[in-house]
Amino acid sequence: MQNFASLPPLSLYVHIPWCVRKCPYCDFNSHEARGEIPEREYVDALLRDLEQDLPRVWGRIVHTIFIGGGTPSLFAHETIDRLLSGIRARLPLDQNPEITLEANPGTVELERFKGFRAAGVNRLSIGIQSFDEEKLKALGRIHGRAEALRAAEAARAAGFDNFNLDLMFGLPGQTVEQALTDIRTAIGLRPTHLSAYQLTIEPNTLFHVRPPALPDDDSAWEMQSRLQVELAAAGYRQYEVSAYAQPGYECRHNMNYWKFGDYLGIGAGAHGKITDASGIARLWKVKHPGEYLRTAGTAESFGGEQKLSRHDATAEFMLNALRLTDGFPSPLFQERAGLPISACEPELARAETQGLIEWNAQTIRPTPQGRRFLNNLLELFV
């Protein structure tokens, strides 16, 4: 039995499952919007869903909210306002919460962004992916270079001094120089946060069925090493595998995932993780938007629930926490996984022998080699 001295911080994830068009690389729970999106009904469903989850988190404060998708920015700002008000009415929020909304260029207008800001959203995450017209086309994105640039400018103009740009590298036919040009353009827009993902072909995507020609390992590695240098020089510190931020602007919501904190997940297919005296549970909602709309707030809306065993908790803690450049303070393991760190001493010792972690009484953190071969490191714990 795991043993918890205190409960971890709590976040809230809200999933909006619609997009204008499904991208060929995307394996998230997103669906092309056909006809009008039932915004009002969906927000009602989200709030019913939240009410049903409330007894699991009585009295706990929510520190961050992340509205992800899909493309949440498809929703009218009034809808987002109603959603956030509804959440505030049902849950105590931190005095200074981080509230992020995902936006895609092409659906953005300055007015809409201003509305989101006024509704209480204080961080935008913009899915730029690339500034290169040809690459955007290859990725099946609906926006072009001009829309991408405009989106970042609109974010700032709407009063978002804290925003993230999502970029990808290792794109079909991309050269190292092209990848660097994208990064430099992004840096030029002065976001507080940058995410740079290497494009990965996931199962159940169009790219998996018809794989595009991607740069080889050597060039992808060169892209990554060189963009890290560029980002560091511009003041963005890498704090996770794909996340870079100006000091103090690390994404609090994601940090909570990676530090194995708790979160409620509402919306179609949303996952939550909740700790209580009996242990850690994962729970998730039904995936399909239609079914979710019909069942939200009832027992039928649960896609499943799973108690984490000691082994599960260890594996999932490490899977998250070792993604962080700084690793984690050793006591955090007992605090979040509910087990003494000695429970995984043999694995830690092996990881250390292989040069994958540095380990002392205060901190456990991946070495540069461990960050580079994170999957080899994590395999020790799964």
Select 49 or 81, whichever has its Cβ closest to another protein.
49
The Cβ of residue 226 has, within 10 Å, a number of other Cβ atoms equal to: 16
Q: Which residue has the tokens 């086309």?
A: 137
Select 56 or 373, whichever has its Cβ closest to another protein.
373
| Residue 70: cis peptide before it, omega within 30 degrees of 0 | yes
Q: In whole angstroms, how close is the CB of 316 to another protein at the nearest point?
A: 5
Q: How many residues bind another protein (CB under 8 A)?
A: 36
- Which of residues 132, 147, 316, 347 is near another protein by CB under 8 A? 316
Q: In whole angstroms, how close is the CB of 281 to another protein at the nearest point?
A: 12
Residue 378 binds to another protein (criterion: CB under 8 A): yes
Q: In whole angstroms, how close is the CB of 315 to another protein at the nearest point?
A: 6
CA distances from 96 to 53, 61, 92, 141, 188 (A): 23, 11, 11, 34, 28
Which stretch in 81-89, 263-271, 288-296, 340-348 sits in contact with another protein by CB under 8 A?
263-271
Q: In whole angstroms, how close is the CB of 115 to another protein at the nearest point?
A: 26
Site track for another protein across 174-213, x = CB under 8 A: -----------------------xx-x-------------
Residue 130 binds to another protein (criterion: CB under 8 A): no
Q: Where are the extended beta strands (E) located within 204-291?
A: 237-238, 243-245, 262-266, 271-276, 279-285
Total length of the chain:
382
Residue 315 binds to another protein (criterion: CB under 8 A): yes
Residue 372 binds to another protein (criterion: CB under 8 A): yes
- Which of residues 21, 221, 310, 341 is near another protein by CB under 8 A? 221
Select 147 or 316, whichever has its Cβ closest to another protein.
316
3-state SS assignment for residue 289: helix
Q: Among residue numbers 319 through 338, which ones bind another protein (CB under 8 A)?
A: 319-320, 323
Amino acid at 254: N
Distance of CA 93 to the CA centre of its chain: 20
CA distances from 216 to 170, 198, 270, 374 (A): 8, 12, 34, 20
Q: Which residue has the tokens 């939550």?
A: 272
- Which of residues 54, 118, 146, 382 is near another protein by CB under 8 A? 382
Q: In whole angstroms, how close is the CB of 106 to another protein at the nearest point?
A: 22
Residue 367 binds to another protein (criterion: CB under 8 A): no
Which stretch in 46-54, 80-88, 218-226, 331-339 sits in contact with another protein by CB under 8 A?
218-226
- Which of residues 106, 120, 265, 338 is near another protein by CB under 8 A? 265
Residue 240 tokens, joined:
């996770």
- Which of residues 224, 275, 295, 367 is near another protein by CB under 8 A? 224
Q: Among residue numbers 234 through 253, which ones bind another protein (CB under 8 A)?
A: 241-242
Rounded Cα distance, 273 and 71, in Å:
23
CA distances from 147 to 103, 185, 195, 259 (A): 12, 13, 19, 35
- Which of residues 21, 271, 288, 294 is near another protein by CB under 8 A? 271
Distance of CA 153 to the CA centre of its chain: 23
**Are the beta carbons of 322 and 314 closer than 8 angstroms?**
no
Which stretch in 75-83, 116-124, 227-235, 264-272 sits in contact with another protein by CB under 8 A?
264-272
Rounded Cα distance, 125 and 123, in Å:
7
Q: Which residue has the tokens 């009996």?
A: 278
Amino acid at 378: L
Rounded Cα distance, 198 and 201, in Å:
10
**Are the beta carbons of 62 and 92 closer than 8 angstroms?**
yes
Residue 273 binds to another protein (criterion: CB under 8 A): yes
Select 15 or 82, whichever has its Cβ closest to another protein.
15
Rounded Cα distance, 345 and 233, in Å:
37
Residues making contact with another protein (CB under 8 A): 13, 197-198, 200, 217-218, 220-221, 224, 241-242, 254, 257, 263, 265, 270-271, 273, 282, 284, 315-316, 319-320, 323, 354, 369, 371-376, 378-379, 382
